[in-house]
Structures are given as C-alpha cells and as structure tokens.
Structure 1
Amino acid sequence: MGKVIGNGRSTKVWKDSWVSLTQRTLPCGTTTEDDNDLRVFDLLTTELSCNRKRIEEVIPALAPMILSLQPSISGAEDSYFWYPTRNGIYSVKSGYHSIKGPSATPASNQSDFNWIKDVWNGAFSPKMKTFLWTTIQKAIPLGANLQSRGVTQEVKCIRCGQIETETHIFFTCEFAMKVWDYIQLKQLIDIAILRDVASALVAFRNNRCLSPLGVTTPILPLILWALWTARNVVIFEQRSYTVEETAIRVIKLAREWSQAQSHKKESSTTTQGSNFVLPHLGSPLPPPIGTTIIKTDAAWDKKSQTTGLAWIDAGPPSYRIMQGARIHRNVASPLAAEALAIRTALQDATASKVSLLRTYSDNQTLIRAINGKLFEKEIYGILKDIETLSSLFVESSFCFLSRAKNGQADFLAKSILRNLLCVMGRSLSI
C-alpha cells in the first residue's frame, strides 16, 4: 500500500511510501533529530503546493518526483492506495495474485481453458470464434508474433511505442485499459493481471455487462475485436477511433448480435450510434437558463513536464464573463493537466460570482472520475479540490465534449504553452 497526498498531515516523510504512484519508495538521506518525524505537510507551502526550496533541502535526490505530485489545495486528507492496480483501488483478486506472485496469475494457469467450451460453443458469431482461435494460436500479425517468425516489421505499439504483444494490445496498453474502463461488468475483473486471451476467456465465462447496457451475450470477444480493428485503422488508414467511439462500437455490435438471435423486438432498450451516452459522461440535456458554460482544455509537454491550461466561457462574446490561460509546471501526465484545467476554471468561476455552472472537458476518464466520484490515485488531490469547489455553486455539472467541439480552449492552451517553449528555445510537439 502507498499513500497519496491530500494535505500531507498524516503522511510521514521517512516512514510512509508516498513519493511514487507505481512502486513502493521510501525516501532516505541524512536527517537531523528535528526531521525524524517530518510530515509531507512540512514540505508544502501555506497554500498547500509543493515548496521547492524545502523539498530540495530535505530530499534533493527525489525532488523531481515529489514536485510532480499534486496535493489538495482544499486540504483533503491523505489516503491509501493499492500499487498493483491502475487506479489504486484494491481488489481481492489483485491482492491474491500480488501475494502468490507471477506463477499464480491467470496467464500461467490455463488448465481450465477448454477449446470447445470457451471458443467453439461460445454464444458469439463464427467470425468471433475464428478471430479468437487465430489470436490464441498467435497467428494474428502482432509485432511480437511477426518478430518471432523472423519477419522484419515494426514490433512496437502504434499508440505508445511499447512492444506489441497480445497482452499489451488487448489488456495493458493505456488505450485498451481506457476502453475496458467504459464497459461496465457485473463482476469486476482486474484487466491488468490478465496475460493472454485464453486466460481472459476463462475469467469471463460467467461475466456479462450490467443490464442497463442491454447486452446479454458475452462481451469479451467483441472488446478484443474492437481493439484489434481500431489498431488496424490507425496502421492502414492513418486515422484513429477515440476511446469513446471504440467503446460505443463494442456495445453496438453486441446489441446487434443479441437482437439477431432473438425474435422479440427490442424498442425501449435499443439505442443507436450517436444517441448512446456512456455512464458518468454527463447529462445530454441543456443546462438551466442562466447557466454559465465553460469549456476547458490543457496542452502538455512531456519533456519539460509543463502544461498550458485554458478555460473559456462558451456564451456569446459580448456576454462572456470569464476566460483565461495559465502555465503550470511539474505536471506528470495529460490526465493531471486536464484535471488542473478544470480546477483552475472552477476557481475563476468562484471569483466571478457564478452560481450556475456547467463545465466541459474532452477527457473522458476525468469526467467519469468526477461524476462517478471514482478514486484515481494520479489525480486524487485535484479531484478532491474539484469536489469541494463544485459544492460552492448553486448548481454545478460536468460533461464530456468531443475534441472537435473544443477548438477554442484547445487553441488557447496550445498557444500559451507554445509561447513559453519558444522562449525556452524549444518547439511544441503534442
């Protein structure tokens, strides 16, 4: 277990693991007697942001990692998180495999897998059965499969640059994990611990989507198929599906297959294409009259760990009461950057005496986390601040907005970041 920082009051600098979000890391160094019981709070400013000077004095070796943490400026309490999972939430299965080690993961134990039961008699189309057979036999042209056959092809993932294996493209790639997050299942399964399609089929034997999605047939083959075809579109057509489009495609294909197997007409439960709204992405209904609508965005530069934040009132230009942009340094990821953009916009809206507010972002993971009050270790402190700030309005809502409709905020964020990088003698590559 690790500690994620809110106000830093309950976390001990030398005794708790709080520096890294991915592995247990205990700071070490020469300390004085007065520093033995130092708390993370003592490394923060009065505004609860990282105190660079103090951090570099106490733990200079880990200063870059610490400065990228985002404490809660509203003073939320510190919290524990679980290292093995992506979002930091503990599950019994991840705990079991953490204790037993790699030898006990589903990947290494395929004794339960049965070709007849799990593939050929599966309640899915012949096309999906053939696809599963090809995948399990390692006959699909993945980078790692091509490399093992001596084919001189690019072996890296087209999205993130890691080695393109079966495990990576279907389960551990950031894009794949985000798609999995959108598919609501009756039984939660930690996708990160799955190692291949065969073990996944065993794990998903009795798992189905939640009833509101209107899908009663096995969903696993369609998720794998959607991820595979989305990958091929990037390679062969030089275009890409968003995470939302991929997830919606899974649900749509599953519904079409379910309806084809039934003679009953589904009317109230069938929703097509663009009318389908994924859970926690916000209400599609217009906001109340008098609501201030803000669009937010962030541009992030990986090399300098710097982000440009932007927020803009979406009302008519003559009635706009707020618009702004700001540079924020020591930001570890695009998700943290987008969260900071919303937090900063809410601070501006509070100062502008706004009472009814709707905030838009083109980051689906962030909007889901805010609306669903989900735990995300990477942005824990910022989410707590957003929750606190949103409570100050008479009414506040958060909705997803496609990138194509967020052009003004996107342009503003990139412009301020580009100007800074030009001064630094660098170019912006996003």
Structure 2
Amino acid sequence: MTTAATALVILCLIGVAAASGCLPYNCKVTCPGAFDIGQNNAGCKICLCKAVCPPIVCPAHCPLGTEIGSDKDGCTICKCKVCPPPQCPKHCPLGNEFGKDINGCKTCKCKACPPTKCPKHCPLGKEFTEDQHGCITCKCKVCQHPTCPKHCQYGNMFTQDKHGCISCSCKECPDIKCPKHCPYGKKYVEDKNWCVLCRCSECPPTTCLQVCPYGKDFFIDKNGCFICRCKECPPTDCPRYCRRGTEIIKDKNGCKKCICKQCPLVKCPHNCKYGRQFVTVNGCKVCKCKPSRCSVPKCPKYCKYGKVWTTVNKCRVCKCKPSRCPSAKCPKYCKNGKVWTIVNRCTLCKCKTSRCTVSTCPKYCKHGKIWTRVNGCSVCKCKSQTKPRTCSAWMCKMYCRNRWRKNKWRLSSWRGCTSCHCSFHKGK
C-alpha cells in the first residue's frame, strides 16, 4: 500500500473515532510479551499487554485430586479440587446428621435409629415394638385386663399370680355357708367334687377330762360317735437291743410286758471226773463237766494267715490266726513312754526299756562323727568344721635315710593335712 493510501486509512479511523467518542488506540506500547486489544470502562478499545503466565505446576497433596483452570490474568493453572456442598436426603423421619468422609469433606445423611435398650427387671418378660419412625423399641410387658368366663355355676373368682397380675376364672366350689342352729356344733366335710361343705355335727364333742394311768383311747359307739375311754393296759413295747432275745411276762396288774431275757443262775454238776468248765451259750455262762483232761489237739488243714498254739483251760489248742499280724495294742502305762517296732513284718507297740532311743550314726560325715548328750540321751551326729584346720610343717620333718617325699593322693592325707613318706631313691 502506498503512503497516500495509509494516510487516508488513518484519517478515516480518526474520523470514525471522533464520531464515536473514542480516541484512536495505538499499540506501540512496550510489553514483555505480546499485546492484546481490550476495552476500557467507556467501552473504547485499548491496547493491553498480555500477562506472562508461569509454568503449570500442580500441588503435591490434594485429597480430592487436581483440576485445570485459569486465574484472573487468564493464565492456565493447576489447583486442588474443593469439596462439593453436602446434599441432604429429602425424607428423614429422625432428621439429618452431618459428618465427614474419608477425604474430610462434609457429608449429610439421615439419622439412624438409636440402639434398642431394654429395662433390666421385667417380671412378665419383654416385648419389642416398632415406633412411628420405624425404629425398634423394647419395654416390659404389662398385665392384661382380666376377662371372666360368661357361664360359671358358682360365679367368678379373681386371683393374683406371683407377678401381681389379676386373672379371672370360674369358682370350682360354692361359698361355704353354715347352718345357723347346730346343737352339737358344726363340722366341715368334703363332697364328691372335693368341695368343702359346712354341716351340723351329729355327735357331741369328744372330751377326755379323766386321768388315765395307761393313757386314753377312742372308740365309736352305735351312733357312729367317738367316745373317749381309759386304756386298760399300756401298749406292749419290746426293748430294741436284747442280747438273748425278748420274752413276754405279766406285771402285777395282769398287763403284758415285754422284757429282755435274763441268764439263769449258774449251777455246776457235783460229780465231774475231769473237773468242770464254764462255756457261754446264748450269751449266758453255763457250767458243765469236762469230757476229758485235755483232748488230742488237732490243727486245721488250711489257715490263710498261719496257725497259732494257745492254752485254753490249761490245754494246748491249735487254731488259725485271725490275721497275719496280731492287733497292735499299746500298754496302758509305760514309765519311759511307748515305741512302735516291726517284728516279723508286724507292727507292735511296747513300752520303752529306757527313756532314750537307740541312736544310729550317719553313713558318711565329711569332718567325722561325734557323740553328744541331748536331753540326757547319747546322740551320734556329723561334726561341723567351724575353724579351718592348720597344718604344721613338722608333719614332714621326719628322719628318712634317702630323704622324704610328700604324698600325692588326698586319701593319704592325715586329718586333712599333707602327709609324707620316706623315699627309696635319693633326692627330694
């Protein structure tokens, strides 16, 4: 384009700008980067420098991630995503509650039903129901209003159970009503349905005012009434423990009496060639003649614990031992006390010959043995070495023709000190 044409364009632009009220803009400004055409507050075009944008760098820690946007200068930037506003459900019977998710953003949700809690003590048990919000509730059962049956022959009756609840049921028996005038009093009887009825007594009351030595007894007269009379004799009761049994006798009043059998008087025969002997028959002593002075003793064939010879009425008798060992019985009085010993594998108790027991020495004593007196009795025990033994040098200063030599073995020591012996060769 020629210079004339360019000038013409400029003049035209100035004329247009003058006509619109805006000055012509000239982009001959110094900008670090490029420039751009913008508008001022009056709406006129102006020349603006474009902003120099920094390099795009995203933050290191963004829980929700990052997003690309632009700042006020129009530069592209990378920034962290922000939490969206919480949205609450529309229908929540118990209301809303706010919380936070794993990214720390605020959340909104319906309130949940609280945990169901039951009372501790419910005698009639517990029952679970659903409330208006659909939550489960727990409460104690209450007593129901009693309902009575319609047709009851003897009417209704109300009873209370152990929990205090009242129930209604039919009466099984009619109410007890007694007659007004009863000469011999009243009595209560049961009918076929086990119901108690009140009737007049047909018999006078039974009274026992007299004193009876053997007690009283009741009889039924011809009218079916009870009569009280004295017993003629006491009941015949026998003793529980009778060694020789019981027998029935009559007392001075002629009443039967049960007593224990007694032993008869012991009477011995007069003419007994081999003497007399006493034996026990049914727990009573009996005296009779001996068949001979002493019969030939015979031992049983088999005895589990062996046989023993004893003397009975000055005659030798062989019999079986009741057990392997005799019963261990201690003497009643022992001056020096009692002691238990084992004889032929049997435990026997006998008196001590002296107040002291036989003392036995230990098998091995490191420092030797010693006898001491304890409570007046000799006791053997091991020595206790209180002070270390000192060995003198003279123990090896002996006269030997070919000098002397120390013993090497511990068993050759004398009272714990090194001993010496004469050497057969010269030299020490």
**TM-score (ref. length: structure 1):** 0.13
Higher strand share: 2
Quick check: which has more Rg, 1 or 2?
2
Q: Which has the higher helix share?
A: 1
Query: Normalising by structure 2, what TM-score?
Result: 0.13
